[in-house]
A and B are shown apart, each in its own frame.
Chain A
Amino acid sequence: MKGSNLGEFEELVLLTIAALVNDAYSVGICDELEKHTGRSVKLGVVHAVLNRLEEKGYVKSKLGEATSVRGGKRKRYYTVTNAGKSALLAAKEVRDQLWSMIPSVTLKPAR
């Protein structure tokens, strides 16, 4: 499987989808990411990432109900698949391992 490892931004998006549970759609994800990271997130980028994640099988999507906002267009809701969950856990594990190797002194900001 090509490119099955998770990039940093992909990981963030995937985490957001998981955090938003049943309300994860493109614009919502964008807003949530913006809120937490504090940097502006471009819709185009999120879209591309969502598309890639779906290709990799980490998320799946389905169209929601039509509403009067969005010009009557339906939202596409994303949920994390099992493969996605295990990829997230695997990434967390790698980090935790690395974190545990760091002596606490080195991470104190230097004066």
Chain B
Amino acid sequence: MTPEHTTPPRWATRFLSWYCKPALLEDLEGDLNEYFERNCKTKGKLKAKWIYVLDVIKFMRPYTLRTPKIINLFFHWIMISSYIKTSGRSILRNKLFSSINIFGLAISMAVGLLLIAMLSDIYSYDRFHEKRDRIYRVNSLYQYMDQKDQDPFATTSLKAAQLIKETFTNVEDVAIVQRDFSADIGYGEKKIPLSGFWANESFFNVFSFQLLQGNPGNALKEPYSIVLTEESARKLFGGEDAIGKVVVHQEKEYKITGVMADVPDFSHFKFDMLASISTLPVLDPKFNENLKWDNIWNTYAYVLLPEGTVPQDLATSFNKLSQVEDKTVEHVHIELTLQPLLEIVSGEDLNNQIGRVMGKEMIWILSALVFVVILSACFNYTNLSVARSLKRSREVGIRKTIGALKSHVIFQFITESIIISLLALILSFGIFLLVRPHFIGLEDNLQHLLSLNLSIPLVLLFILFAAVIGLFAGIFPALFFGNLNAIAVMKNLSAKPVFKGLTVRKVLIVFQYCISIIAITATLILHKQYKHFVAYDLGFTTHNILNIRLQGNKAELLMKDLEELPEVKEMSRSMLVSGVGNYWGATMKYPKNPLDSAGVYYNQVDAEYIPLHNHQIIAGSNFTNTVVDSIETEVIVNQGVLKRFNIANQDPEKAIGEVLKVNGKEVRIVGVMKDFAYGKANDERVKEIMMREGGKDMQYLNVKILSDNWPSTYAKIEKIWKNHDTVHPLDAKFYDDEIEQAFSGLKASVKVGGFLAFLVICISSIGLLGMVIFTTETRIKEISIRKVLGANEGKLLFLLSKGFVILLTIAAAIALPLTYIVFSEVLLTNIANHAPLTWSELLTGVVAVLAVALIMIASQTLKVARTNPAEVLKAE
């Protein structure tokens, strides 16, 4: 009969015997069994099991519970201290293995600590706002015709922000922040450059920035009001009282209506001052023309939802708003979404961010890498502990014979690994302090985002982290030893327990070396890409060109003085620096095909710009006249524009003289230039480019410099600059440096990747070293006998290292194709103009890793192979 074969759930029975008084247990168990068998027949197995479990729980009554005896607790305490003592002794006895373990764990944990500190910084952003859980930012997803953007913009239109504030009933308040209130503020003779935003009167209601002086309700209400931070107030007025003072900004007078505490470090946007947004319509009578639904580039709207509202509640209101407002613009659909305030810094990296963000992907990638490093170090621990099981199993056997339970042994080994991981924590904390400044300095973004300062909760988190690592690293060896059969171990001290873990250990070594090889090859590939992009032929010359940001100064005056310098060869002016990730666009129409229009990226330049940068003109000429009264008549386009509008059948010669409409104004093509990289070397999207004649909008002076002594030339330029501008410091960068800057993200990944690769290789090398030492030590007698019998060193070396070399070969055989496929098929396909993948980068990494490993194996095996056999055998 089948019912006999079914047994009640074992865990429930175990639970019963754990809590029940021994005197009552047998009877109770029997009763439950009887009921179980009965229920199996009448109600089915599943239900019977269920009833059994319930009954076990129901039987937990005061009279059935085992009473803990104080004496037992006392014994437990003695045992625990004994565990700690024996663990300590075993750590001290095996100094080499312990230090390998501690060191390996420490370096991996240092990275873990960095990650924890980083995450704790990232997630503490914007927590100081009291209403933080109810504040959401309005993001906009832009769609032109059928082209829907992938990522939303962090900005929205001022119109949308105002409509939400005025018409939405399910919104408590809306703080509107507009970009670009950044200029020089004058007070008396003093002039100070400050940066800030335009903001509306709800700003201090929604956010919890502390207003020290002034009325939070109406400080930003009236036009021409400014709220300064404490620091900027001090800069501007010294010790004087700021409230009510009148300052000058672009020849207009503003009143200081408030002084606020400095913006906290962990605020996702930072500023020196705020001006009332109501000033804008007063400043510019045409301002309301800008109030368009599709002008979504400059305004940030933060909505404060009433308590109990979820952001989904607003979705329908947003959809309705979009439906109505889409009709006011052509071909454009804008979708509004809400992003929680607390997810701005840790969320996705959107376009038009107000401040710096970390980006979700970055966080995930870093976490995954750190996880792999830590995993690798834990494997070391597991590997070495299990490998040494031969020595430890005797100890465990005796323990068990004397009466230790399985749980005691497990507890002992976990204690040991936690002690080791806590020791490793001390070391890793030192490494953490050492590496911290370098990590922050890796990239601009990190520098601005992170402080990685220590706090008590953070340190507690570190300790918890170490304990978890210890538990994780120690659990496998502990279970292994816990399951050892005492009798078998005592009877036969052969290699049986060692044998059991052998395949696992081999797999772990292969895994570690796979990771090492992948890490180093990936870093090498990234490095090659970086070099490739920095040296990429953009289609124009950038050497020895210094770009000076004019910062509002008159270019002509500056040029006149700079011309005097002998080092200055040529000069030109431009609106932006191309090739480093700057974009500016205008709408272009070709009147012969009036229905078609397209966005075309452009740069405004003067006639000297094109020869100075060696842009190649394939037909026509450079600009022939200069702009008078900002009426431009001429334009130079690239081949992409001819192709896009099919001008003169794409024949450059015939295209000269054709008329185009740029932003509605007619201009004549005077030249056609070769395509070049407008955005960045890895940006293929920009196909249509034009060079417009520049008038007043020039932002940069491009100076070609030939100098043997750059510092002195720089000093001369700086001196000239200071004669013209006493407020702003000189902002001049070499073009090539700017290109490097544009790829600083890639550079940072190379650095991080390189560092992690180094760590992983270190860790796996340490692990391998431990394994080699262990194997050679256990085989030392065998080696000695072989030697006595006549084996030579070469043969012994081969014998000892053969196994490891095979493992390394397997690792390489897995890692290489994997890296190749991942990069060639997945990662690099998304990057335009990338450098081709060659086997040289792949092989260099493998050779480097294997060389290190082989040197280690050889050094150890050679040591053993060279020992005097008499010394070893004598000891027996």
Seen from chain A, the residues whose Cβ lies within 8 Å of a Cβ on chain B are 25-27, 43-44, 47-48, 51, 63, 69-71, 73-76
Seen from chain B, the residues whose Cβ lies within 8 Å of a Cβ on chain A are 7-8, 24, 26-35, 37, 55, 58-59, 61, 63
**How many Å lie between the Cα of A76 and that of B31 in the bound state?**
9
26 A-B interface contacts by CB (under 8 A): A26-B31, A27-B31, A43-B32, A43-B55, A44-B55, A44-B58, A44-B59, A47-B59, A48-B61, A51-B24, A63-B27, A69-B33, A69-B34, A69-B37, A70-B33, A70-B37, A71-B8, A71-B33, A73-B26, A73-B27, A73-B29, A74-B26, A74-B27, A74-B30, A75-B27, A75-B30
A71 touches B27 (CB 8 A): no
B31 is contacted by which of A43, A48, A51 (Cβ under 8 Å)? A43
**How many Å lie between the Cα of A75 and that of B32 in the bound state?**
11
B59 touches A27 (CB 8 A): no
A48 touches B37 (CB 8 A): no
B35 is contacted by which of A27, A51, A76 (Cβ under 8 Å)? A27
Given A47-B28, A48-B63: A73 in contact with B33 (beta carbons within 8 A): yes
Q: Decide if the interface of chain A is mainly helix, strand, loop or mixed.
A: helix
Contacts of A47 on B, CB cut-off 8 Å? 28, 31, 59
B30 touches A71 (CB 8 A): yes
Contacts of A27 on B, CB cut-off 8 Å? 31, 34-35
**How many Å lie between the Cα of A71 and that of B52 in the bound state?**
14
Contacts of A76 on B, CB cut-off 8 Å? 26-27
**Residue from the set B8, B28, B31, B32 with the largest chain A CB neighbour count within 10 Å:** B31
Contacts of A43 on B, CB cut-off 8 Å? 31-32, 35, 55
**How many Å lie between the Cα of A52 and that of B690 in the bound state?**
98
**How many Å lie between the Cα of A63 and that of B24 in the bound state?**
11
Within the complex, what minimum Cβ distance (angstroms) separates B52 from chain A?
A: 11
Within the complex, what minimum Cβ distance (angstroms) separates A36 from chain B?
A: 19
Given A44-B58, A48-B61, A48-B63: A71 in contact with B31 (beta carbons within 8 A): no
**How many Å lie between the Cα of A8 and that of B7 in the bound state?**
36
Contacts of A69 on B, CB cut-off 8 Å? 33-34, 37
**How many Å lie between the Cα of A51 and that of B28 in the bound state?**
12
**How many Å lie between the Cα of A74 and that of B29 in the bound state?**
9
Within the complex, what minimum Cβ distance (angstroms) separates B179 from chain A?
A: 71
Within the complex, what minimum Cβ distance (angstroms) separates B129 from chain A?
A: 54
Contacts of A44 on B, CB cut-off 8 Å? 55, 58-59, 61
Q: Which residue of B lies closest to A76 (CB)?
A: B27
Q: Decide if the interface of chain B is mainly helix, strand, loop or mixed.
A: helix
**How many Å lie between the Cα of A70 and that of B28 in the bound state?**
10
Contacts of B58 on A, CB cut-off 8 Å? 44
**How many Å lie between the Cα of A70 and that of B24 in the bound state?**
15
**How many Å lie between the Cα of A58 and that of B148 in the bound state?**
86
Contacts of A25 on B, CB cut-off 8 Å? 27
Contacts of B30 on A, CB cut-off 8 Å? 70-71, 73-75
Contacts of B33 on A, CB cut-off 8 Å? 69-71, 73
- 9 further A-B contacts with Cβ under 8 Å, apart from A43-B55, A51-B63, A74-B26, are A25-B27, A27-B31, A47-B31, A63-B26, A69-B37, A70-B37, A73-B26, A74-B30, A76-B26
**How many Å lie between the Cα of A37 and that of B63 in the bound state?**
27
Q: Which residue of A lies closest to B63 (CB)?
A: A51
**How many Å lie between the Cα of A25 and that of B31 in the bound state?**
9
Within the complex, what minimum Cβ distance (angstroms) separates A94 from chain B?
A: 28
Q: Which residue of A lies closest to B36 (CB)?
A: A71
Within the complex, what minimum Cβ distance (angstroms) separates A71 from chain B?
A: 4
Contacts of B26 on A, CB cut-off 8 Å? 63, 73-74, 76
Within the complex, what minimum Cβ distance (angstroms) separates A72 from chain B?
A: 8
**How many Å lie between the Cα of A70 and that of B25 in the bound state?**
13
**How many Å lie between the Cα of A70 and that of B8 in the bound state?**
11
Contacts of B24 on A, CB cut-off 8 Å? 51
**How many Å lie between the Cα of A70 and that of B33 in the bound state?**
5
Within the complex, what minimum Cβ distance (angstroms) separates A29 from chain B?
A: 10
Within the complex, what minimum Cβ distance (angstroms) separates B576 from chain A?
A: 82
Within the complex, what minimum Cβ distance (angstroms) separates B10 from chain A?
A: 12
Contacts of A70 on B, CB cut-off 8 Å? 30-31, 33-34, 37
Q: Which residue of A lies closest to B7 (CB)?
A: A71
Contacts of B31 on A, CB cut-off 8 Å? 26-27, 43, 47, 70
**How many Å lie between the Cα of A70 and that of B31 in the bound state?**
7
B27 touches A26 (CB 8 A): yes
Contacts of B34 on A, CB cut-off 8 Å? 27, 69-70
The 7 closest A-B pairs by CB, nearest first: A73-B30, A71-B33, A70-B30, A76-B27, A70-B33, A70-B34, A26-B31
Contacts of A75 on B, CB cut-off 8 Å? 27, 30
Q: Which residue of B lies closest to A74 (CB)?
A: B26
Contacts of B35 on A, CB cut-off 8 Å? 27, 43
**How many Å lie between the Cα of A27 and that of B30 in the bound state?**
10
**How many Å lie between the Cα of A76 and that of B26 in the bound state?**
9
**How many Å lie between the Cα of A44 and that of B56 in the bound state?**
10
B29 is contacted by which of A48, A51, A63, A71 (Cβ under 8 Å)? A71
**How many Å lie between the Cα of A74 and that of B30 in the bound state?**
7
Q: Which residue of A lies closest to B28 (CB)?
A: A47
Q: Which residue of A lies closest to B58 (CB)?
A: A44
Contacts of B63 on A, CB cut-off 8 Å? 48, 51
**How many Å lie between the Cα of A48 and that of B60 in the bound state?**
11
Q: Which residue of A lies closest to B60 (CB)?
A: A44
Within the complex, what minimum Cβ distance (angstroms) separates B61 from chain A?
A: 6
**How many Å lie between the Cα of A75 and that of B26 in the bound state?**
8
**How many Å lie between the Cα of A12 and that of B176 in the bound state?**
79
Contacts of A48 on B, CB cut-off 8 Å? 61, 63
Within the complex, what minimum Cβ distance (angstroms) separates B59 from chain A?
A: 6
**How many Å lie between the Cα of A69 and that of B41 in the bound state?**
14
Within the complex, what minimum Cβ distance (angstroms) separates A28 from chain B?
A: 10
Within the complex, what minimum Cβ distance (angstroms) separates B556 from chain A?
A: 99
Contacts of B32 on A, CB cut-off 8 Å? 43
**How many Å lie between the Cα of A51 and that of B34 in the bound state?**
19
Within the complex, what minimum Cβ distance (angstroms) separates B525 from chain A?
A: 63
**How many Å lie between the Cα of A74 and that of B26 in the bound state?**
7
Contacts of B37 on A, CB cut-off 8 Å? 69-70
**How many Å lie between the Cα of A76 and that of B28 in the bound state?**
9
Contacts of A71 on B, CB cut-off 8 Å? 7-8, 29-30, 33
**How many Å lie between the Cα of A44 and that of B55 in the bound state?**
8
Contacts of B7 on A, CB cut-off 8 Å? 71
Within the complex, what minimum Cβ distance (angstroms) separates A35 from chain B?
A: 15
Within the complex, what minimum Cβ distance (angstroms) separates A12 from chain B?
A: 19
**How many Å lie between the Cα of A73 and that of B29 in the bound state?**
7
Contacts of B55 on A, CB cut-off 8 Å? 43-44
Q: Which residue of A lies closest to B38 (CB)?
A: A27
Within the complex, what minimum Cβ distance (angstroms) separates B559 from chain A?
A: 98
**How many Å lie between the Cα of A62 and that of B239 in the bound state?**
94
Q: Which residue of A lies closest to B8 (CB)?
A: A71
Within the complex, what minimum Cβ distance (angstroms) separates A66 from chain B?
A: 9
**How many Å lie between the Cα of A71 and that of B28 in the bound state?**
11
Contacts of A26 on B, CB cut-off 8 Å? 27, 31
